[in-house]
Chains A and B, each alone.
Chain A
Amino acid sequence: MIVVDQLSKYYRVANKQPGFKGTLKHFFDRKTYDVPAVTDISFKISPGEVVGFLGANGAGKTTLLKMMCGLIHPSTGLVDVGGFSPQRRQTAFLKEITLVMGQKQQLIWDLPPMDSLYVNAAVYGLSDHEAKVRINELAEMLELGEELTRPVRKLSLGQRMKSEILASLLHKPSVLFLDEPTLGLDVNAQARVRSFLSEYNKRTGATILLTSHYMADITALCPRVICIHKGKLFYDGDLDSLANSLSPSREVKVELKKPCASEQFEKYGEIQDLNDRFVCLLVSRDKLTAVVSNLLTDFDIIDLEISDPPIDQLIGELFIKGEVN
């Protein structure tokens, strides 16, 4: 469905030194140089997959996404989406895809979403009847009602985002590019957008490509993740094995009856945190059972909890280290 082969993109940028002198220099003698945004990335995505793109700010996720939907011309390499070359932006291709950007809006600000929806329907060549059926269907899935007839500027961010999503899905696209679709939404609104996307994927079999800063979006929706760091791909695979390969250890949290010195815990594992009666240890998976049973016999323990270290923390560490173990 989607093939990306040795894709690279360089941006030409100019730096400006501070101060008046810098401004003059920037105006008259602008020095530009190429900055790689994406370097030599290859992967394949099958129809119906939901794939999450992970990376720090400026890692190249958005550039990659925009090359796949045809907004940015690649410097070198190939992109193929459903047999089309995106940068040519053929009508048949554009009718198959959609882009949702969490921080930009396409709805007309002063009018109710319904007006923008009918403009979009006309642009995509849908008849009024088709548009109506489609709007009703999507509005029901998104739990949108009379909000659609209220001016966009009077809607809450969550309602606006849902209306934006409705506007982007009117033409039944089979590939969805979502760039931070839950940005700025509260926890409930995020959850609703997430459950909508997952249901939409199940109902229509659409392929979904998603970038997000909220790890919860990725864990809830994307079985497969592609990690990008400084423009390079360094992990492509399922989320669970990413967690395993990132952290071969598990977290053991212990609540003690009385405080103990830190030296006493050193032989069990790496001490993450020690605070009065609470201890948090990192223990490798193979020693886990032995360590837990030793802890229970050696100490007076009120409570014990075993968990995976939080995934966003792992990803954060990963971006600092820059590689997978």
Chain B
Amino acid sequence: MNRYFKTIRLFWSTAFASQLEYQLNFLIELLAMFGTLLGSIFILSLFFTGGRQLGDWTWESALVIQGVYTFLDGLTNALLRPNLTEIVNYVREGTLDYVLLKPIDSQFWLSVKKFSFAGLPEIILGLSIVFWSSIQTVSSFSIYSLSVFIISLLIGFVILYSVWFLIAASSIWFVKTWNATEVLRALLAAGRYPISAYPVILRFIFTLVLPVAFLTTFPAEAILGELKFNILFLGLILSSLFFIFSRLFWEFALKHYTSASS
């Protein structure tokens, strides 16, 4: 276990060093990051000027969902996108060979090799929005609601990660799957709004088929102290199933790996 922590530390410090290697590019990336931030804040401000009811959510609680979305989007930009879109290149160029011959879990390597620091501000902003807007409604947090919130965030992240990893792993057969990952980002974007704002049929699909509800709505409900225990339980089972399936699928995929020719 210690070895895995040390490896992550070195992965991320080298990732940071690689990003700093090109000074100008790093500056531009910082600027772009602030641009994205301003954009998110602008969209959020539109919520205040509205006045319509969204599903059965008030503006403050809908804002919590925006916060969770921003947080997950930051995590996506920091961790999921840099790593999982790279799998395609590993397969196409055949450098996956090197990963597979390391005495370390290959799924672990492919999932945490890189860390983009440009995602950090969004993560911080997202969490700040969550706490600021939920305090307007609930006035204080109990240890219980905080821990349920953390667990449900984890559930959301694991589901998003597993689905994304599944698609990326299928590049072993199809080699190019960039379009599929765009679909995923759209899916995450669907989670910007409370699940009850959608028609019934979509609500059903977003909960059980494509579990968008678990990404944003349920964590938001958790911090507001409204999440039902059976939903949390369902989330735990669903996310474990997704994660286990992603691992089994990866092992299955590797049996079909033919390696790029020399």
Q: Which residues of A are at the interface with B, using a C-beta cutoff of 8 A?
A: 11, 62, 66, 69-73, 89, 91, 94-95, 97-99, 101, 103-106, 108, 110-111, 115-116, 118-120, 122-125, 151, 179-180
Give the total number of A-B pairs whose CB atoms are below 8 A apart: 77
Could you say which residues of chain A place their CB within 8 Å of the CB of B101?
Answer: 69-71, 89, 94, 97-99
By the criterion CB–CB under 8 Å, are B3 and A122 in contact? yes
Could you say which residues of chain A place their CB within 8 Å of the CB of B225?
Answer: none
Q: For the complex of A and B, list the 4 residue pairs with the smallest distance between their C-beta atoms, beginning with the closest.
A: A94-B103, A106-B98, A91-B103, A110-B21
By the criterion CB–CB under 8 Å, are B255 and A73 in contact? yes
* B262 touches which of A62, A72, A89 (Cβ 8 Å): A62
Q: How far is the CB of A170 from chain B (nearest CB, A)?
A: 11
Which of these binds chain A: B9-17, B121-129, B231-239? B9-17
Known: A111-B17, A116-B14. 12 other contacts (CB 8 A): A71-B257, A72-B259, A91-B103, A99-B97, A110-B18, A110-B21, A115-B17, A118-B10, A119-B7, A119-B10, A124-B102, A125-B103
Could you say which residues of chain B place their CB within 8 Å of the CB of A151?
Answer: 21
CA distance A180 to B22 in the complex (A): 32
Q: How far is the CB of B23 from chain A (nearest CB, A)?
A: 12
Q: How far is the CB of B88 from chain A (nearest CB, A)?
A: 16
Q: What are 19 A-B interface contacts by the 8 Å CB criterion?
A: A11-B258, A66-B97, A71-B97, A71-B257, A71-B259, A72-B257, A94-B101, A97-B101, A99-B97, A99-B98, A101-B94, A104-B95, A105-B95, A111-B14, A111-B17, A119-B11, A122-B9, A122-B10, A123-B104
**Is B6 an interface residue when CB atoms closer than 8 A count as contact?**
yes
Could you say which residues of chain B place their CB within 8 Å of the CB of A71?
Answer: 97, 100-101, 257, 259
By the criterion CB–CB under 8 Å, are B262 and A101 in contact? yes
Instruction: List residues 242-262 of chain B with CB under 8 A from any CB of chain A.
Output: 255, 257-259, 261-262
CA distance A118 to B94 in the complex (A): 23
Instruction: List residues 123-176 of chain B with CB under 8 A from any CB of chain A.
Output: none
Known: A91-B103, A123-B104. A101 touches B97 (CB 8 A): yes
Known: A91-B103, A104-B93. A115 touches B14 (CB 8 A): yes
Chain B residue at minimal CB-CB distance from A92:
B103
By the criterion CB–CB under 8 Å, are B95 and A89 in contact? no
Instruction: List residues 97-114 of chain B with CB under 8 A from any CB of chain A.
Output: 97-98, 100-104, 109
* A103 touches which of B11, B18, B262 (Cβ 8 Å): B262
Give the size of the chain B interface in residues (CB under 8 angstroms).
Answer: 28
**Candidate in B9, B18, B98 with the most chain A CB atoms within 10 angstroms:** B98
Q: How far is the CB of B107 from chain A (nearest CB, A)?
A: 13
CA distance A118 to B9 in the complex (A): 11
CA distance A70 to B95 in the complex (A): 15
Q: How far is the CB of A135 from chain B (nearest CB, A)?
A: 15
Could you say which residues of chain A place their CB within 8 Å of the CB of B257?
Answer: 71-72
Could you say which residues of chain A place their CB within 8 Å of the CB of B255?
Answer: 73
Could you say which residues of chain A place their CB within 8 Å of the CB of B104?
Answer: 123
Chain B residue at minimal CB-CB distance from A177:
B101
Chain A residue at minimal CB-CB distance from B106:
A89
CA distance A282 to B100 in the complex (A): 50
By the criterion CB–CB under 8 Å, are A104 and B14 in contact? no
Could you say which residues of chain A place their CB within 8 Å of the CB of B6?
Answer: 122
CA distance A103 to B6 in the complex (A): 29
Q: How far is the CB of A239 from chain B (nearest CB, A)?
A: 23
Chain A residue at minimal CB-CB distance from B15:
A108
CA distance A151 to B258 in the complex (A): 31
Chain B residue at minimal CB-CB distance from A73:
B255
CA distance A49 to B201 in the complex (A): 67
Chain B residue at minimal CB-CB distance from A109:
B18
* B18 touches which of A66, A72, A104, A111 (Cβ 8 Å): A111
Could you say which residues of chain B place their CB within 8 Å of the CB of A106?
Answer: 95, 98
Known: A62-B262, A108-B14, A119-B14. A89 touches B100 (CB 8 A): yes
Q: How far is the CB of A26 from chain B (nearest CB, A)?
A: 14
Instruction: List residues 1-37 of chain B with CB under 8 A from any CB of chain A.
Output: 3, 6-7, 9-11, 14, 17-18, 21-22
Could you say which residues of chain B place their CB within 8 Å of the CB of A125?
Answer: 3, 103
